[in-house]
Chain A
Amino acid sequence: MSVTDPAPSRCPAVTYSPHEQRPVGEWTAFFDQLRAEAPVVRNTFANGYYVLTRYEDILSAYQDTDTFSTQAVTVMEPDPSYRWIPHMLGGDEHRQWRRQLGPYFSPRAIDGLDDRIRSRAVGLIESFADRGSCDVITDFSFHYPTTIFLELMGLPVGDLDRFMAWEANILHSNGSTPEEIAHNRTTAMAAVYEYFGSVIADRRRRPGDDLVSHAIAFKVDGRPVTDDEVLSYCFFMFMAGLDTVAAALGYSLYHLATHPEDRARIVADPALIPSAIEEILRAYAFTIPARKVTKDIEVAGCPIAAGSMVQLPIKAATRDGSAFASPAEVLIDRKPNNHIAFGAGPHRCLGSHLARHELAIALEEWHKRIPDYRLADDAVITELGRSSGPDTVPVVWAR
């Protein structure tokens, strides 16, 4: 990091590229360092944007959606041409979608999915358990949420490979030049839109018991939702539910592979798994959401003009010592743990209950079959300075 504004400032300027791949843990340490430096910093990278670093300010920003709007949620795109549903909606329109989606994502609804989720986890883990090694990311954590997503959306599991390829091209930097990366991304996005376009047409003719058919029946302001709205909902579900669970699972198994004492505790007492997951979500929080400021404001003495993009890095909040005792330590039985790894406020992650169950079931079934494992000797694990997970988590165990 280079401080380019040495004059006393209430929001010092910094310059860093979030696209940089760094060894696992370094980005987290970097955000810890930003917090120590100032409550608000301005990254001069690209169009420039602000970064809030303290728990209190970040929580308040998530709760004040009138000021910190989701009309733009990527710092690089302050004026997006798309409107993911329901995430990028605001006010009452957002509330109406959330109210209708809520019953399908509530704790009770998710309880009812556990058997299907469990059989996916078991099938995958058993496919490599005898091998004595695997890459948690490519062999397990990418496939797992993707198959569950396909089932919930009522799509054939045979389409898994296509989805995985689209996912890689859209959410990861796939290609050797910036042009190639951008091209792969645009092509894959168009393919996903086309795919869901025909799924929606099909469900209009033959509705089933799936999340696409349910959404088609929704109403907003008393009128039926349009195909375009359902399409941008399908696309958002695709973006939101796959990589995030994969990343969280990657960090969970990374942590447990490198902390045998924690692993031994959950193997001996699987009832600890839910609280271990909450703690890993807190300590390894990885999403770095952004909001667009709708009016001139001041945060911790730093003036921010209307129209600016502001990042609200969750890891900056959940590792803030003024909100959590020993924030850098992973205490798998931490209680209470009111972390905001799933965000806060009205846009709080709709899929959080599903994600928790997917993670808990994965760790239960994994440790039943593979209780003792460690990182491969030559493991080099890196991550990006934007929402993503570890690129690889190679682990080995005795057969």
Chain B
Amino acid sequence: MTIDMDKCSGHARCYGTDPDLFQIDDSGYALRPGFEVPAGGEDTAREAAASCPERAITAQ
């Protein structure tokens, strides 16, 4: 998963879907620009990515 930090505007919809994977900082913006999705978590990760209004998240 990669997150375009310039596009992230702190909607926190990714976090709302999967708070373990999509961590946010104290202001509600994405904390990590990229990370591996653990096996088994692909579906929620994809759903979280698709719920970003800014389309800032890409699954690879």
The answer to whether A binds B is: yes
Say yes or no: B9 contacts A107, CB within 8 Å. Answer: no
* A346 to B24 CA separation, bound complex (whole angstroms): 16
**Contacts A106-B28, A338-B55 known; A353 to B12 CB distance under 8 Å?**
yes
**Residues of A contacting B60 with CB < 8 Å?**
none
Contact A108 B9 (CB under 8 A): no
- CB-based contact B28/A353 at 8 Å: yes
Q: Does A218 contact B (CB under 8 A)?
A: no
Interface: A345 (CB within 8 A): yes
Tell me, rounded to whole Å, the shortest Cβ–Cβ distance linking A305 to chain B. 28
Q: A102-B10, A107-B12, A353-B12 are in contact. Are A336 and B51 (CB under 8 A)?
A: yes
Complex contact A338–B26 (CB within 8 A): no
- Contacting B at CB under 8 A, from A77-112, are 98-99, 102-103, 105-108
B52 partner residues in chain A, CB cutoff 8 A:
338
CB-CB nearest in chain B for A337: B51
In the complex, what distance in Å separates the CA atom of A138 from the CA atom of B50?
37
Which residues of chain A come closer than 8 Å to B11, judged between CB atoms?
Answer: 342, 348, 352
Say whether, besides A339-B53, A344-B53, A348-B10, A99 and B47 are in contact (CB < 8 Å). Answer: no
- Indicate if A340 sits at the interface (CB-CB under 8 A): yes
Measured in the bound complex, the distance between the Cα atoms of B48 and A220 in whole Å is 34
| Contacting pair A103 B51 (CB below 8 A) | no
How far apart sit A348 and B9, CA to CA, in the bound complex (Å)?
Answer: 7
CA distance A244 to B54 in the complex (A): 21
Residues of chain B lying within 8 A (CB to CB) of residue A348: 9-11, 53
Interface residues of B in 3-52 (CB under 8 A from A): 7, 9-13, 15-17, 24-29, 47-48, 50-52
A side interface size, CB within 8 A: 24
Which residue of chain B has the shortest Cβ distance to A335 in the bound complex? B47
Q: With contacts defined as CB atoms under 8 Å apart, how many contacts are there between chain A and chain B in the complex?
A: 62
Interface positions, chain A 295-351, Cβ under 8 Å from B, are: 335-340, 342, 344-346, 348
Most buried by B among A335, A344, A346: A344
Q: How far is the CB of A252 from chain B (nearest CB, A)?
A: 18
CA distance A337 to B13 in the complex (A): 9
Q: How far is the CB of B3 from chain A (nearest CB, A)?
A: 14
- State in angstroms the CA–CA spacing of A353 and B7 once bound together: 18
Confirm or deny: A173 has a beta carbon within 8 angstroms of a beta carbon on chain B.
Answer: no
Cβ contact within 8 Å between B50 and A108: no
CB interface residues, A 37-88, toward B, < 8 Å: 59, 63
Kindly provide the distance from the CB of B4 to the nearest chain A CB, expressed in whole angstroms: 11
Residues A245-300 near B (CB distance < 8 A): 274
Is the CB–CB distance between B27 and A99 below 8 Å?
A: yes
Interface centre among B48, B50, B54 (most CB of A within 10 A): B54
- How far is it, in angstroms, between the C-alpha of A346 and the C-alpha of B8 when the chains are bound? 8
CA A6 to CA B24, docked complex, whole Å: 51
A106 to B12, CA, bound (A): 9
Select from chain B the residue with minimum beta-carbon distance to A102. Answer: B27
Are the C-beta atoms of A102 and B50 separated by less than 8 Å? Answer: no
In Å, the complex CA distance between A340 and B9 comes to 12
Q: Which of A339-374 contact B (CB under 8 A)?
A: 339-340, 342, 344-346, 348, 352-353
**Please, which residue of chain A has its CB at the minimum distance from the CB of B48?**
A336
A188 to B10, CA, bound (A): 33
- Mark A residues whose CB is within 8 Å of B: 59, 63, 98-99, 102-103, 105-108, 274, 335-340, 342, 344-346, 348, 352-353
For the complex of A and B, list the 4 residue pairs with the smallest distance between their C-beta atoms, beginning with the closest: A102-B27, A106-B28, A336-B50, A336-B51
The contact sample of 17 A-B pairs, CB cut-off 8 A, is: A59-B54, A63-B54, A102-B27, A102-B29, A103-B26, A106-B10, A106-B27, A106-B28, A336-B47, A336-B48, A336-B50, A336-B51, A337-B51, A338-B13, A338-B51, A342-B11, A345-B9
